[in-house]
Structure 1
Amino acid sequence: MSSITVNVIDRDGTRTPDVEWNDHESLMEALTRNKFPILATCGGNASCSTCHCYLGSAAETANSSSPIEDEEEDVLDMLDDTRHDDSRLTCQVEWSEELNGAEVTIAPEW
C-alpha cells in the first residue's frame, strides 16, 4: 500500500501538516479516517456538499488526475456563496501521487 501526505486547514483555520492519505481511499475517506469534520452525508456519492473543500494550488493537478464529472459539477453549482475555482467534493478526489503535499482547506458549513 502506498500513501502520500496532504496539509489540511480546518474550518477554524488550524493547519495540520502531513495527514496520511492511502492509495485505496478517496480524499473524503482519508479526512474522515483522520477525524476531520467531514459529514459525507451521502456516503461519497456526489449528491450532497458536506465534504466540500478547496484544493488551493493543487486544484489543477487534482482536476487532471481526477476530473470533475457532471454529478460533482451539479452539486458544486448549488454552492453560490462558498464555491471557488478550486472547489471540489472530497468524495470525488481520487488518490494520486501528484497530490502529495497538497493543501486541502475544509470549506465552511452552509
Structure 2
Amino acid sequence: MDGAGLSDREQRALSAIEDDLRSDRSLNRVLRSTHRPHRAVAAWLLGAVTAGLFVAASVTVSQPLLWAFAGAWTLTVAMAVPLLGQWFQRRRQRAARP
C-alpha cells in the first residue's frame, strides 16, 4: 500500500466486517465480561477472609474452621486463576507492542 488509505471497495468490505462484529451478540457478551473490576475486588476480599480463616484455624485447630478455610481457599484459587491469566496476557500484549 502506498499510504493513500483504503480504496472504496476495501472501505466497504471493512464496514461490512465491522457491522457483522457489532451484531454478534456472543462476541459482545464476551467483550463486556472480560474486564470486571468488581471480580478483582471480590478476589482480594475473599483472599483476606481466607487468610483470616487460616489464622483462626491454625490457632484453634477447630474442625469447622479448617473446613471453612479449605472451602474459602478453593474459591479464592478458582477466582484468582482466571484473573491472573488475564493480567499476564495483558502484560505480554503490552510488552509485544513496539
User: Does TM, normalized by the shorter one, top 0.5?
Assistant: no
| Structure with more strand by fraction | 1
| Structure with more helix by fraction | 2
TM-score in terms of structure 1 length: 0.18
TM-score in terms of structure 2 length: 0.19
